[in-house]
Structure 1
Amino acid sequence: MNNIVLIGFMGSGKSSVGKLLAEQTHRTYIDLDQKIEEDAGDSIPNIFKKEGEEGFRMRETEVLRELSSRDSTVISTGGGIVEREENLSVLKEHGPVIYLHASFEEISARLQEDESRPLWSKPEAERRSLLEKRLPVYKEWADYLVNTDQKSIDDVVAEINSLI
């Protein structure tokens, strides 16, 4: 059984959707950010502090490559997976790429109290700019787009199941 790859901005629902999707499709679930933390023995905020965003992105690509040999897996990527062009070919090897889209307003509501995301702590204008920069890349890289605004996790998973 092939893999399913979830991409999208932070707060779009990749982790929540990925877990349920894996359960319903009898696949293993892997959260790329969690795997990076496990391999590094450190949190993402600390990796950002110690190595900067570029160091984190290098780790992200390495872990993604390691996962390319897996099968029957739902892979939830970090929101910045699209920051490195070389990740595209690796993602496409995994299986269908599904972009979980959420509006800036929806993301803001979901992440209101979340302090674990280094890029979300930046001023609102920078966060909006980052989303606007990544939006066309998410769309370009995706085989399917699923809007998660105002939808339950069950509804999003059902929509993905109807697409794959």
Structure 2
Amino acid sequence: MLKSMQSSSSFATAGSESTADGAQASGLRAVVLTGFMGAGKTTLGRLLATDLGWEFRDLDAEIEQDSGMTVADIFRAEGEAGFRAREVAMLGRLLQGERLVLALGGGAVESAGVRDHLTACPGACVVYLAAPLEALVQRCLQQPGAAERPVLADRERLQARWTARVPYYEQAHLKVETAGARPEETLQTLRTLLEKQTVSASRPGTPHE
């Protein structure tokens, strides 16, 4: 899905105005965060956007605002196919912008349309926030509204979802392990990885790792 994009994408570290300018100068237009539920996509996304001085968007939240329905309501009214169609359309709209940090829904990568948008978007860096399934479940159980997510009690179903999605997550440009790390620590790790990619991209003839 995405690994082939690395040779044409440039990345930048965060933390200053010059960094944000450097990110755009190197061709980076968007950082897209993916991963399973509980990975911290929204939390880290907000932190990274603040660091870069960019805009943060959550794909599911944008769909809800646009439709006037919750994700659960859309699934009930239109089925998964209806939701995925909305997801693909909204992602296409959002990726037309610049200076964007975007958090995807956990299942977005299962959609061929989503993967096509991510592959075709110039200057988009996709980051996989990774952690063991059990650690992700424990994070979710500690979040408000956990009782309203019956899937958390169905470990067989969770394992099936995890198994289906991980191969897609692994195709992201960058992978950040989040288990046992505070959001601020994860942010620093991501900044370091982005900086390394920028240095590599700035040297003519130097291949990406």
TM range (shorter): over 0.9
Give the structure 1 partner of residue 93 of structure 2.
Answer: 66
Which residue of 122, 133, 136 maps to 1:104?
Answer: 133
1:115 is displaced (CA, Å) by 4.6
Q: Secondary structure at the match of 1:75?
A: strand
CA distance in 1, matches of 2:93, 2:185: 31
Structure 1 residues 158 and 116: alpha-carbon distance in aligned structure 2, compared to 1, 3 A threshold: farther
Larger radius of gyration between Structure 1 and Structure 2: 2
CA distance in 2, matches of 1:49, 1:11: 23
Indicate whether 1:46 and 2:73 are aligned: yes
1:89 is displaced (CA, Å) by 2.9
Identity score, percent: 33
CA RMSD in angstroms comes to 1.6
TM-score, with normalisation over the residues of structure 2?
0.73
CA distance in 2, matches of 1:77, 1:5: 7
Q: Is the 8 A contact 1:146 1:156 kept in 2?
A: yes
AA matched with 2:112: E
Q: Is the 8 A contact 2:137 2:152 kept in 1?
A: no
CA distance in 1, matches of 2:103, 2:73: 21
TM-score, with normalisation over the residues of structure 1?
0.92
Which residue of 171, 191, 196 maps to 1:161?
Answer: 191
Unaligned runs of 5+ in 1: none
Q: Report the more deviating stretch, 107-116 or 66-75.
A: 107-116
Aligned residue pairs: how many? 162
CA distance in 1, matches of 2:78, 2:38: 23
Give the structure 2 partner of residue 137 of structure 1.
Answer: 168
CA distance in 2, matches of 1:55, 1:137: 21
